[in-house]
Amino acid sequence: GTAIGAFVVGSANFLESMGIDKTMAKALMGVLVASFAGTTLDTATRLQRYVVQELASTFAPKVSPTADAAEGYDHEFQLGPTGKSISLNPLVWLTNKHGATLFAVSTAFVLALFPQPGKEWSWDTIGTGGLILWPLFGATNQLLGGLAFLVISFWLWRRSKPVWFVVLPTIFMLIMPAWAMTIQIQNWWAKESYLLVCVGVVTLVLEAWLVVEAFLMWPKAKGVLEKTLPPLTQEPVASARVPISAGSGSSSE
């Protein structure tokens, strides 16, 4: 787009003033922008996969907490081509990293097919669907910062370390973005932007859910460390044996 081109050209001019060839400078900045876009997509996909897996694991009906893999979620199974059990519950599919990743990529692809608000669909506007949810970015980004502070607070609290210097910014970063989101939801409702309203409300509900869970767990978490993960087991690799023919071998005459 025009903004990306301006960034590449401007940065290339800066590098050119430092003695780098203009063509090389543009190439370097183009690679930098493409690399940044690629890593951003990778990070966003991974984060969405984690969120989808966590939500699916929460809502999928579990049979036994000690059951293996997907078999711990429900009892509706059938044998697949490989002889392994396949759950018939779609939520169980999303607890798998491959299913959650496919869901994350598919939803992003469908969103990208739509044009940006106020534009009609065409080959020029396709791929701009992300701008539909762009107004949500500011508040949700700050809410993630608040939730990150919340995780750090619990990590320190479990180890009986001082937490006051983290709790104060945590409270601030949870209240202010939620307040801003509430004001934005009112504005979007007045503009009949109901998709933004729905996503914003869901975001606030999820934040409130996490805060309530944290509030309930806080008195019980002090001094209680997380369970130690079991050691990784590695299957022994069978040594390759080369068959020796009957006529081979060393013999002394």
Series of mean pLDDT values for 10-residue runs along the chain (253 residues): 80 89 91 89 89 85 48 45 59 86 91 81 78 86 90 92 91 93 94 91 92 92 78 58 50 45
pLDDT on residue 31: 93
pTM above 0.75, yes or no: no
Side chain identity at residue 110, one-letter code: V
d(CA 170, CA 27): 42
191-to-64, 131, 138, 180, 205 alpha-carbon distances in Å: 48, 16, 19, 17, 22
Cβ-count burial 17-35 (b if 16+ within 10 Å, e if not) = eeeeeeeebbebbeeeeee
Q: Closest Cα to residue 145, out of 177, 185, 98, 99?
A: 177
pLDDT at residue 86, rounded to an integer:
60
Residues in contact with 94: Cβ distance below 8 Å, sequence separation at least 6, in sequence order: 52, 53, 55, 56, 60, 100, 103
**Per-residue confidence (pLDDT) for residue 89, from 0 to 100:** 74
Question: What separation in angstroms does the CA of 240 have from each of 237, 243?
Answer: 9, 10
pLDDT value at residue 62: 60
Q: How far apart are CA 47 and CA 4, in angstroms?
A: 25
Q: At 65, is the secondary structure helix, strand, or coil?
A: coil
End-to-end Cα distance, the chain: 82
CA nearest neighbour of 56 among 78, 72, 38, 44:
72
Nearest by Cα to 147 from 207, 203, 199: 207
- How far is the C-alpha of 41 from the C-alpha of 185, rounded, in Å? 27
Taking the C-alpha atoms of residue 145 and residue 141, their distance in angstroms, rounded to an integer, is 7
